[in-house]
């Protein structure tokens, strides 16, 4: 399998998981909320400053269908994550352009192929 095929299959799998399967994730509280409940201070929690944001609370504001709301939020999250990772990889590769060649990776100079 080529690198491009591997990346596209990974993106497709992430989109399917985020868009369709994420709705079936556990409805149990996350770790922090569980500890707060167990220790008795969950009632003192305050809303985050981003509680009214378009993707707050694992959903998409303005979408009434809960399944669709969660799926859209998941797909947006996949795109944002891949864009951020792609940008970081692009910056790193741009800083070290010589690392991409086989000769540089092997620690030797490339052979002179001129006649």
User: What is the spatial distance between Cα 18 and Cα 105, in angstroms, rounded to a whole number?
Assistant: 36
Q: What is residue 102's predicted lDDT score, i.e. its pLDDT?
A: 52
Is the whole-model pTM more than 0.75?
no
Q: What is residue 100's predicted lDDT score, i.e. its pLDDT?
A: 55
Q: What is residue 50's predicted lDDT score, i.e. its pLDDT?
A: 85
Q: What is residue 110's predicted lDDT score, i.e. its pLDDT?
A: 57
- Decide: 20 and 73 in contact? Cβ < 8 Å: no
User: What is the spatial distance between Cα 89 and Cα 84, in angstroms, rounded to a whole number?
Assistant: 9
Phi and psi torsions of 61, nearest 5°: -65, 145
Write the CA distances from 88 to 4, 23, 69, 74, 91, integer angstroms: 18, 29, 29, 21, 5
pLDDT tens, residue order, the chain (115 aa): 898 999 899 999 999 999 988 888 877 768 888 898 999 998 888 888 888 889 888 889 999 998 999 999 999 999 999 999 999 999 998 887 666 555 455 555 555 556 5
CA dihedral sign of residues 74, 77, 83, 87: negative
């Amino acid at each position: 399998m080529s690198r491009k095929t591997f990346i596209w299959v990974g993106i497709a799998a992430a989109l399917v998981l985020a868009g369709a399967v994420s709705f079936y994730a556990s409805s149990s509280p996350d770790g922090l909320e569980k500890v707060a409940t167990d220790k008795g201070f969950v009632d003192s929690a305050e809303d985050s400053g981003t509680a009214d944001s378009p993707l707050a609370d694992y959903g998409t504001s303005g979408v009434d269908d809960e399944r669709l709301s969660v799926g859209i939020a998941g797909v947006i999250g996949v795109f944002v994550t891949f864009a951020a990772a792609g940008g970081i990889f692009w910056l790193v590769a741009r800083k070290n352009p010589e690392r991409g060649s086989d000769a540089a990776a092997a620690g030797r100079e490339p052979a002179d192929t001129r006649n």
